Chain A
Amino acid sequence: MIEIAIHIAFVLVSSALALNAWRLLRGPSAPDRILALDTLYINTIALLVLFGIHIKSALYFEAALLIALMGFIGTVAMCKYLLRGDIIE
């Protein structure tokens, strides 16, 4: 039963990633693209967690944690760049 649920979830999360990629390519504005990247990294965490349950290994937790930390910093840096034209003042 869990296996079926995980397969359904894989399909849904992968489609979500495809939708994000579409928004990333299409734009139209810079904040739109940053928002797409932000959603992309959160969905990647979802995919990694699902994969961890699928192969019954807790190893992928560290990768998910690192993606969460780095993704947030990336989003903040890009927003800061749009706001100020500079990241470190």
Chain B
Amino acid sequence: MSPWLEALLSFLIVLGALLTFIGSLGLARLRDFYTRLHGPTKGTTLGVGSLLIASSVFFSVQGEGISLHEVLITLFLFITAPISAHLLAKAALHLKVESLVPLPDEAIARKNSQHRDYQSLD
């Protein structure tokens, strides 16, 4: 393995782990549920994606041909992360989980009174 490739792989691995860690730090550190939701959906997803790409490159240069099945997990995570975030936000709004800003029922009533009842995307 050439040193450049090794450096690239090390960079991808450390970057991925760092983004994963920051995503979880956001989960532990931020102050209300709705802002906490941002950390894991963005940071963690890209972090794991970066690790998976590193793994794909690593096994491709190890011999035994190109290894692309890690791309499958990456794609799957990028498709499912927004869906679970959307569902969690919906559940939280349904349960009226506390927020730092006024909950949207009031915000919507202020903005356009005709759409008061919100329902889901599904």
Genuine A/B complex: yes
Binding site for B on A (CB under 8 A): 1-2, 4-6, 8-10, 12-13, 15-17, 19-20, 22-23, 29-32, 34-36, 38-39, 42-43, 45-46, 49-50, 52-53, 56, 58, 61, 64-65, 68-69, 72, 75-76, 79-80, 82-83
Interface of A (DSSP majority class): helix
The CA-CA distance from A5 to B16 in the complex, in Å, is 11
What residues of B have a CB within 8 angstroms of the CB of A56 in the complex? 62
Asked if B108 CB lies within 8 Å of chain A CBs, one says: no
Q: Is the CB of A76 within 8 A of B87?
A: yes
Q: Is the CB of B40 within 8 A of A38?
A: yes
The CA-CA distance from A58 to B69 in the complex, in Å, is 10
For chain B residues 20-62, which have a beta carbon within 8 Å of chain A? 20-21, 23-25, 27-28, 33, 36-37, 40, 44-45, 47-48, 51-52, 54-55, 58-59, 62
Residue of A nearest to B86 (CB): A79
Q: Is the CB of B20 within 8 A of A31?
A: no
Asked if B118 CB lies within 8 Å of chain A CBs, one says: no
Binding site for A on B (CB under 8 A): 3, 6-7, 9-11, 13-14, 16-18, 20-21, 23-25, 27-28, 33, 36-37, 40, 44-45, 47-48, 51-52, 54-55, 58-59, 62, 67, 69-70, 72-73, 76-77, 80-81, 83-84, 87-88, 90-92, 94-95, 97-98, 120
